Amino acid sequence: MEYFAGSYDVAVIGAGHAGIEAGLAAARLGCQTAVFTINLDWVGNMACNPSIGGTSKAHLVREIDALGGEMAKAADANTLQIRMLNAGKGPAVQSLRAQIDRRAYSAYMKNALENQENLDLMQAMIADIRPGKPDGWELRTSLEALYRSQCVIIATGTFLAGRVYVGDVSYESGPDGMFPSNSLAVSLRRLGLPVRRFKTGTPARVNRRSVDFSKLEPQPGEDKILRFSFDNKTKPDNSELCYITYTNEATRRVITGNLHRSPLFSGKIDGVGPRYCPSIEDKIVRFADKERHQVFIEPCGANTQELYLQGLSSSLPEDVQKEFLKTIPGLERCKMMRTAYAIEYDCVDPVSMRPTLEFKDYPGLYGAGQFNGSSGYEEAAAQGLMAGINAAARVKGLEPFILRRSDAYIGTLIDDLVTKGCSDPYRMMTSRSEYRLVLRQDNADRRLMPAGYRIGLVGEERYKSFLQKLEWIEAEKRRVRSEYLPPNETLNAALVSRETTPVTTGIRLEELLKRPRIDYEVLAAVDVNRPDLPDEIFEQVQIDLKYEGYIKRQQAQIEEALRLEEKALDENTDYSAIKGLRLEAREKLGKARPASVGSASRISGVTPADISVLLIYLEKRAKENDH
């Protein structure tokens, strides 16, 4: 028999990476918050690769941290190895990536939720969700407990109507052998949400003791101290090695000889898979001319023998998986501990959401993470944080918090989802941002920490430390602009060593630092007045100086783009009545209901001519209102 179990301001369904950030944000902003999870032991589980960061994803982690989220701190506390990707390229595309102890990370996040004021973490399967009377939402668990909440954030990951595929075998399941969330899936369809099916996959795990490391290429971490969190002063562990090996012709033969047994090619899987993270059988077919594919062998934790085989995601039968694994150098005698699988799950079309991640037709109902059609822990956490902030704002009657594309990668991520939608699991990439020179991982705090402080997720002490950093940066800029270095043998030797022209007269330190191959390190012997400051100060000054002209040009582009962003569109606009709009544009705009002309311009199928029509329509309407 159903019984009333309690009321909350914000209820979060799911305690994965999206649910964690959503719950913590709402609770830290003073809302009475409940986080429901199917299994308390799997909070913050890394069902796929036990890593945080990577190209563009590190930008999201740093932005989450600057806004007051938890992921960066958790990653730093549980790092096994950390490296800087694209270190030889410009700062816009450099990205941190850390291999994580997955069980320790999970324990850290569970502890963070358990100890958070205003938050109740509960093991319960939400079986039904329905509009409350007179408002808000009602949630019923599988044990018939009834909860009421003003706002609900759905962060179900791949659990919603989950079905696992391994060859001819398929069964209802969440990731890692967990229960699927079937009743809730039925409830959401009954509610009328625009639900569709996506698919993702994961590779096998093997026992470290069965791997021949002499045949693998070691991949060590970096000697330099690297961290995700701007607030963290401790040195993350960097002791573990990762390794690289490759598939070969024998691997190809085993896979191509068994494609008929793959549910991907037999038509058994209906869900759309991730474009940028295909299975090994998909890669063998799509890139038939490629002789080999990289396989990264990575630890799953400090206290386990499990190794993760990145690059070998598969849904082939278990016997075929064992056969092709043993064709790969170093894995000839490997013992499989977990079988690779594909998982199909329900998610929604994010075009049905506002930039706050609230559903347009369901007040107080929000979505975050893979439920919104994205992939990746970092993308999920970013959406969870924003959904949590906006749910709390709704409860408190405050203005919503929306990041623009020019503000953050988080803004690009959410704008892409709610404006353009996604036909396959969305993955963040640096190429998705048109402002990536400004939106670097290194300056995420300078871009977003004032907003985090204003919202209330960044504390007073941390913010004062941030303001001190800004003062140091400006003081160092003043110094390098005013300080001259005389020509001497030591300076010229340093310049010649970096293949740049020696000097014959005195030169400002600023001019030297603007040279392409010159940095603080090479000038250390002659820059005798350099103050004793943290390395990050010099990094920021150096980047600001070297890219000053490019950054100014990009800021001008941003200001021009904001002209369209500031032209608001009414969500209830009848686009079918606007003369001059093409039929396709009317249909796309009517479905997306964009918040601004800028958002409308990014909808696929809406042309510049359609935008001109919209601008004329808005101008005409403004004149009519004036009269």
Query: Is pLDDT at 271 greater than 90 in this prediction?
Result: no
DSSP state of 235: P
Number of Cβ within a 10 Å radius of residue 274 = 20
Q: Where are the alpha helices (DSSP H) in 486-534?
A: 489-497, 509-513
Strand-pair category, 145-154 with 3-13: parallel
pLDDT digits (tens, 9 = 90+) for 399-416: 999 999 999 999 999 999
Average pLDDT over residues 142-156: 98
Instruction: Identify the H or E element spanning 3.
Output: strand 3-13
Q: Which fold has domain 3-198+347-455?
A: FAD/NAD(P)-binding domain (3.50.50)
Average pLDDT over residues 264-268: 71
Closest by CA to 39, choosing from 74, 22, 70, 15, is 15
Asked whether the domain spanning 460-552 has the same topology as the one spanning 3-198+347-455, the reply is no
- For the chain, percent of residues with pLDDT exceeding 70: 98
Residue 567 to residues 420, 570, 618, Cα–Cα distance (Å): 19, 10, 8
* Alpha-carbon span 226 to 237, nearest angstrom: 10
Query: Is pLDDT at 596 greater than 90 in this prediction?
Result: no
Query: Is pLDDT at 276 greater than 70 in this prediction?
Result: no
Query: Is pLDDT at 186 greater than 90 in this prediction?
Result: yes
Residue 605 to residues 350, 437, 600, 609, Cα–Cα distance (Å): 17, 28, 10, 11
pLDDT digits (tens, 9 = 90+) for 281-319: 989 988 888 999 999 999 999 999 999 999 999 999 999
pLDDT digits (tens, 9 = 90+) for 165-180: 999 999 999 999 999 9
Average pLDDT over residues 75-92: 92
Average pLDDT over residues 381-394: 98
Query: Is pLDDT at 592 greater than 90 in this prediction?
Result: no
The domain locations on the chain are 3-198+347-455, 205-344, 460-552, 567-626
pLDDT of residue 608: 82
Give me the architecture of the 460-552 domain, per CATH: Orthogonal Bundle (1.10)
Selected residue with higher pLDDT from 413 and 623: 413
Closest by CA to 441, choosing from 56, 53, 59, 55, is 59
Banded pLDDT at 262 (limits 50, 70, 90): confident
Mean predicted lDDT score pLDDT of the chain = 93
Average pLDDT over residues 335-340: 97
Q: Which fold has domain 205-344?
A: Elongation Factor Tu (Ef-tu); domain 3 (2.40.30)
Average pLDDT over residues 465-475: 97
Correct CATH for 567-626 of 3.40.50.300, 3.40.50.720, 1.10.150.570, 3.30.360.10: 1.10.150.570
